[in-house]
DNA sequence: CCCCTTTTCGAGCCGTTATCGAAAGCTGCA
DNA sequence: TGCAGCTTTCGATAACGGCTCGAAAAGGGG
């Protein structure tokens, strides 16, 4: 079986579709991804069948395999974005400069918001990607970059004497997994009763506020002088107000 | 279809098994759970089939349904323990008394260790339980108790003027999800390369050390006077050294 | 006009969950 | 002794999901 390459050379000829629906936009590959993304978000990866994805993109089930080797590869194509959004954000924050604690504060707050606004549950992805590292090489590479970036910010803070002495990578991993953990209960919302994120937000504040709480907590815990947290928060607020991070 | 009740009235008669293996211990129900537990731990829930569970407990696939309505109920029966272990631990810590920050410190450190030593990945459970709240009622109830308990500890700390002013439930949720997040990367170990928890521990310390790091970070972030963290840690160390928490 | 390439489809294989009815023991009672 | 009823196990099979395969249905170039 040969799978249609990602970078498309020729196009459009072939046997006509039985269903004409959704022939709208350009290439089928993107349409499949769009449809799959919607469905994964709605019902989770495990809860979505290839037949459903096919129907939603105007194809028959078996035609999907012309574009993707299997279901995992459909997911992979969607999910590279999951790490890229936070990566871009961190880059922007680092370029903006400023003291390490302020950078860290902004990173944490924005990361929580970014992860929470992903249509799918990052934990599900994380698990699936863990079970099939071959398919998800890109995912793991970019996650590693994420850890590296945060590690460097922390190291800089330690060197500048602003952050306490600690194992920078351990701290980075802890922070990132905290962000993911927070995303997780924002999504599941602490129980089956209030399942969607908006319900949680109503009770406890938006993702910005909740991310802010986490950032406050963590950065304060890392600071050499905890009392400087107020200045850090104000600086972060100022920067986030002016330079809107485009996610 | 009638499922054999959980509390067993009569027992043992019926058609003999084709395979005699594993007729060892008492009731089949426990044997199934034991086997399923092992397999879930080894290959994850999704990666384990009912045929495998059956074979491992000396039965045929269809016989499992005499004891459990479906695969989800097998999982549910195993997984109630997931919340009970931390619950018992928190109770012990609270009974031991002492300042709220110390209690919190001990709770966080022990929770990370407890979650990490679970044979299965709590995140997978969390997700499955979220998708099927009916089956997992007990799970959610006990998780709610967990949140409540931590909330109360925090509230006590605030009232005593030891912890900063904050939304106690928000803080409790954040802390618990951080523990879960930490468990998550301890398990997946930051990437597909070093997949088992021991590999991670080798690099960054045991679950006790990593839990300690998180506890340090979080409690310090919550303290009114961050400089008291050293006393808190020492108190916690002392208590954990003497009164060994039985998990 | 016919062959080649591209795209799509239908049929079907295989593995998994779950159901159903029957088989195979045991127990107790006529 | 024999048989009726209960409990436990099994085999067959339905339903469904992922994935493969070979062929059909176009368009384009010689």
Query: DSSP for chain A?
Result: --PPPSS--S---SSPPS--TT--SS-HHHHHHHHHHHHHHHH-STT--HHHHHHHTTS-GGGHHHH-SSHHHHHHHHHHHHHHHHHHHHHHHHHH---HHHHHHHHHHHHHHHHHHSSS-HHHHHHHHHH-TTTTHHHHHHHHHHHHHHHHHHHHHHHTTSB-S--HHHHHHHHHHHHHHHHHHHHHTTSSSS-SHHHHHHHH--HHHHHHHHHHHHHHHHBSSGGGHHHHHHHHHHHHHHSPPP-
Q: Is the pLDDT score of B183 beyond 60?
A: yes
Are A192 and B140 inside 8 Å of each other by CB? yes
- Closest to A211 (Cα-Cα) out of A106, A121, A87: A106
ipTM of the modeled complex: 0.84
Q: Percent of chain B at pLDDT above 70? A: 86
pLDDT confidence of residue A194: 39
Assess whether A207 and A108 both reside in one domain.
Answer: yes
**Secondary structure element (H or E) that encloses residue B31, with its range:** helix B28-43
Please name the residues in contact with B193: beta carbons below 8 A apart, sequence gap of 6 or more: none
Please name the residues in contact with A235: beta carbons below 8 A apart, sequence gap of 6 or more: A98, A99, A102, A105
Assess whether B38 and B145 both reside in one domain.
Answer: no
pLDDT confidence of residue A123: 82
- Residue A1 in any domain: the answer is no
- Number of structural domains (chain A) is 2
Asked if the C-beta of A130 comes within 8 angstroms of chain B's C-beta atoms, the answer is yes
- List the nucleotides on chain D closer than 7 A to a protein CB: 6-13, 16-28
Round and report the angstrom distance from CA (A2) to C1' (C5): 13
pLDDT confidence of residue A199: 43
Asked if the C-beta of B199 comes within 8 angstroms of chain A's C-beta atoms, the answer is no
Asked if the C-beta of A180 comes within 8 angstroms of chain B's C-beta atoms, the answer is yes
Asked if the C-beta of A182 comes within 8 angstroms of chain B's C-beta atoms, the answer is yes
Assess whether A202 and A238 both reside in one domain.
Answer: yes
pLDDT confidence of residue B23: 55
To the nearest whole Å, the CA of B13 is away from the closest chain A CA by 40
Average pLDDT of span B55-78: 96
Q: Is nucleic acid strand C under 7 Å from B20's C-beta?
A: no
More confidently predicted of B3 and A87: A87
Assess whether B58 and B88 both reside in one domain.
Answer: no
Q: Please provide the size of chain A in residues.
A: 247
Assess whether A189 and A103 both reside in one domain.
Answer: yes
The whole-angstrom separation of Cα B206 and Cα B211 is 8
Q: What is the CATH number of the domain that holds B43?
A: 1.10.10.60
Round and report the angstrom distance from CA (A21) to C1' (C9): 16
Q: For residue B163, give the 3-state DSSP assignment.
A: strand
Assess whether B36 and B141 both reside in one domain.
Answer: no
Q: Which residue is nearest to nucleotide D5 (CA to C1')?
A: B14
- Residue A207 in any domain: the answer is yes
Lowest mean pLDDT among A138-152, A218-232, B123-137, B213-227: B123-137
- Residue B21 in any domain: the answer is no
- Residue B17 in any domain: the answer is no
Asked if the C-beta of B35 comes within 8 angstroms of chain A's C-beta atoms, the answer is no
Q: What is the mean pLDDT of chain B?
A: 86
pLDDT confidence of residue A91: 94
Q: Which residue of B has its CA nearest to A201?
A: B170
Assess whether B103 and B58 both reside in one domain.
Answer: no
Give the nearest nucleotide to B66, CA to C1'.
D8
Out of A68, A100, A127, a domain closes at A68
Give the nearest nucleotide to B2, CA to C1'.
C19
- Residue B182's pLDDT band, with cuts at 50, 70 and 90, is confident
To the nearest whole Å, the CA of B142 is away from the closest chain A CA by 10
Q: What is the CATH number of the domain that holds B186?
A: 1.10.357.10
- Residue A14 in any domain: the answer is no
Assess whether A85 and A113 both reside in one domain.
Answer: yes
Count A/B contacts: CB-CB distance under 8 Å: 143
- Residue A8 in any domain: the answer is no
Give the nearest nucleotide to B64, CA to C1'.
D9
Q: For residue B35, give the 3-state DSSP assignment.
A: helix
Asked if the C-beta of B31 comes within 8 angstroms of chain A's C-beta atoms, the answer is no
- List the nucleotides on chain C closer than 7 A to a protein CB: 5-12, 15-27
Assess whether A114 and A172 both reside in one domain.
Answer: yes
Q: Which residue of B has its CA nearest to A176?
A: B181
Are A143 and B191 inside 8 Å of each other by CB? yes
- Residue A52 in any domain: the answer is yes
Lowest mean pLDDT among B11-25, B33-47, B79-93, B169-183: B11-25
The protein residues having a beta carbon less than 7 Å from any atom of strand D are A 1, 13-16, 48-51, 61-62, 65, 69-72; B 4, 8-19, 28, 59-63, 66-67
Assess whether B95 and B195 both reside in one domain.
Answer: yes
Lowest mean pLDDT among A23-32, A168-177, B215-224, B226-235: A23-32
Question: Which residues of chain A, if any, have pLDDT below 50?
Answer: 190-199, 201-202, 246-247
What range does the domain containing B135 cover? 80-242
Q: Is the pLDDT score of B202 beyond 60?
A: no
Round and report the angstrom distance from CA (B24) to C1' (C30): 37
Distance between terminal CA atoms of chain B? Answer: 38
Are A184 and B177 inside 8 Å of each other by CB? yes
Asked if the C-beta of A222 comes within 8 angstroms of chain B's C-beta atoms, the answer is yes
Assess whether A60 and A91 both reside in one domain.
Answer: no
- Residue B196 in any domain: the answer is yes
Q: Is the pLDDT score of B116 beyond 70?
A: yes
Assess whether B58 and B130 both reside in one domain.
Answer: no
């Amino acid at each position: 079986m040969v799978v249609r390459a990602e970078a498309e050379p020729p196009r459009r000829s072939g046997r006509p579709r039985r269903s004409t629906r959704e022939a709208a936009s350009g290439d089928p590959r993107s349409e499949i991804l769009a449809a799959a993304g919607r469905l994964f978000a709605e019902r989770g990866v495990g809860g979505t069948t290839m037949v459903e994805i096919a129907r939603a993109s105007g194809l028959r089930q078996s035609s999907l395999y012309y574009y993707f080797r299997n279901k995992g590869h459909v997911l992979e194509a969607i999910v590279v974005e999951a790490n890229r959004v936070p990566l871009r954000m961190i880059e922007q924050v680092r370029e903006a400069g400023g003291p390490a604690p302020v950078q860290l504060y902004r990173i944490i707050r924005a990361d929580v918001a970014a992860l929470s606004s992903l249509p799918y549950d990052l934990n599900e992805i994380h698990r699936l990607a863990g079970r099939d590292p071959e398919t998800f090489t890109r995912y793991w590479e970019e996650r590693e970059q994420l850890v590296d970036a945060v590690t460097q910010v922390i190291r800089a803070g330690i060197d500048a004497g602003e952050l306490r002495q600690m194992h920078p990578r351990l701290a980075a991993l802890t922070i990132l997994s905290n962000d993911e953990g927070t995303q997780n209960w924002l999504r599941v919302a602490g129980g089956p009763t209030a399942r969607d994120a908006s319900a949680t937000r109503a009770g406890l504040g938006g993702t910005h506020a909740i991310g802010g709480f986490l950032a406050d907590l963590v950065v304060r815990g890392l600071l050499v002088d905890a009392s400087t947290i107020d200045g850090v928060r104000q600086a972060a607020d100022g920067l986030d107000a002016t330079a809107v991070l485009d996610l």
